[in-house]
Amino acid sequence: MGQSVVIIGGGIAALTSAYTLANKGHRVTIINQTDTNSAPSFGNAGLLSAFEKAPLAAPGVITKTLKLMLQGKSPIVLRPNLDPHFYRWLVRFMASTTRARLKKTLILFERYGEQSIQAYHRLTQEEGLDFDFHHDGVMLVFTEAESYREKLRHATDSSKYEVLDYASAKERLGFVAPNIEGVIHLKRNGRLDPGRLMEQLKALLVRKGVCFVSGEEIVDFDVGPKQIKSARSKTRTYEADTFILASGHHTALAAKLGTPLMLIPAKGYNITFEMEESIKPKQCVMFNDLFIIATPRQHDMRLTSKLEIGTSNPDINMKRVQSILANLKTHTVKFELQNPRYWAGFRPLTPNDMPLIGRDSTYRNMVYGMGYGWLGMTFGPALGEIIGRLIDEDLENHQSDDVLLFSGFYQGCL
């Protein structure tokens, strides 16, 4: 008989960890405070972009952002506030934008991105899930000559890059207008419909015996000297051998255990609408200099953008939505937003693009699945396997090469 595991959360971190553990015979309960499809794991762009794409903490990002902020065009919005945690995060972020860190991050992205892509292939082929998964790359569109030239210098390996002119890419780009500088197809990336993935994965987990408790917020823990005895909601107590905290950008529960996690919420938006098939892109289009992703989905289109830090206000600011559309429309043909839906959510952002995975240093039976950042769908399955193995094989953090390599706990996030 396996262990009993209670997972607090309900996004990609929770579901992929549950998948590994259920396959290994453990008894898993997932407790989620919402029961709607509102979490970031449902509302994101669905781009799987581990390859040939710079991380957020990259050299030059600060100067570039400040320049764009002064011009009023920056996709990154910094809202200063009085929270010292926010400033500690910013200092770590700035310290992470080095060439040495970039080299390491790109290698780790390749390694865990590849594992995740393989895992998504298995979910479709072996488990029969259909979540609009395409391993067809991303079309990186440049609207600034300087950034295009810079990327071209690196785009030499034809197994990874395809440099295209507008005419040859037109069919695949759909609504993109000719007034762009260039297009580079990053061949190894992929995409999926995150909402469908989450729904199908949840149904699969139910079939595998995982128990879901929705609409239940965990507010505290009962602890012994070195272990968590139970997790408590306002009305119930949940006992288990092991607990996983996978609560996205919500860090209050970790703080109660004396573990302040080095992550902050980074707000982003999506606009989902129906689009005429004749101008719908055939592949995911990423506007490199506008920081806008356009993902074609089976029945609609999704635009995602903005990275607002220093706020935890969940409201949809229509001015931000309008600015995304205004920026985008300078480089597209005319298109109509048919039946538009607007959404805002938070990325759980660490200062150096590393997730926070591994055991708590005091309470060994608490495992974190946090800090998935702006790439939670890209790395979710690989991280779920790492967390699942840590618990299944009863490893300490230092006995897992993957935790040592890819967890922010060992890579500069403490």
Residue ranges binding ligand FAD (CB under 6 A) = 8-14, 31-34, 39-41, 44-47, 217-218, 246-248, 250, 253, 268-270, 304, 345-348, 372-378
Q: Could you give the CA distance from residue 17 to residue 24 in angstroms, rounded to a whole number?
A: 11
Least CB distance to ligand FAD at residue 34 (A):
4
Which C-beta is closer to ligand FAD: that of 182 or that of 265?
Answer: 265
Q: Which residues of 60-165 form beta strands (DSSP E)?
A: 76-78, 138-142, 161-164
Sign of the CA dihedral running 155, 161, 164, 166: negative
3-state secondary structure 385-413: HHHHHHHHCCCCHHHCHHHHHHCCCCCCC
Would you call 51 helix, strand, or coil by DSSP? coil
Which C-beta is closer to ligand FAD: that of 252 or that of 333?
Answer: 252
Which C-beta is closer to ligand FAD: that of 44 or that of 327?
Answer: 44
Structure tokens at 400: 């897992």
Which C-beta is closer to ligand FAD: that of 117 or that of 168?
Answer: 117
Least CB distance to ligand FAD at residue 283 (A):
14
CB atoms within 10 A of CB 105: 21
Would you call 341 helix, strand, or coil by DSSP? strand
Structure tokens at 301: 């289109």
Burial-class residue 203 by CB neighbours within 10 Å (0-12, 13-18, 19+).
exposed
Structure tokens at 277: 């098939």
Which C-beta is closer to ligand FAD: that of 51 or that of 372?
Answer: 372
Least CB distance to ligand FAD at residue 158 (A):
25
Which C-beta is closer to ligand FAD: that of 46 or that of 310?
Answer: 46
Least CB distance to ligand FAD at residue 161 (A):
20
> Which residue minimizes CB distance to ligand FAD?
376
CB atoms within 10 A of CB 229: 15
Least CB distance to ligand FAD at residue 233 (A):
8
Least CB distance to ligand FAD at residue 253 (A):
6
CB atoms within 10 A of CB 401: 10
Which C-beta is closer to ligand FAD: that of 182 or that of 355?
Answer: 355
3-state secondary structure 183-246: EEEECCCEECCHHHHHHHHHHHHHHCCCEEEECCCCCEEEECCCCEEEEECCCCEEECCEEEEE
Which C-beta is closer to ligand FAD: that of 10 or that of 55?
Answer: 10
Would you call 62 helix, strand, or coil by DSSP? helix
Least CB distance to ligand FAD at residue 277 (A):
23
Least CB distance to ligand FAD at residue 217 (A):
4
Least CB distance to ligand FAD at residue 167 (A):
28
Which C-beta is closer to ligand FAD: that of 39 or that of 205?
Answer: 39
Q: Which residues of 236-392 form beta strands (DSSP E)?
A: 237-239, 242-246, 264-274, 284-287, 292-296, 301-309, 338-349, 356-359, 366-370
CA 314: distance to chain centroid?
Answer: 17
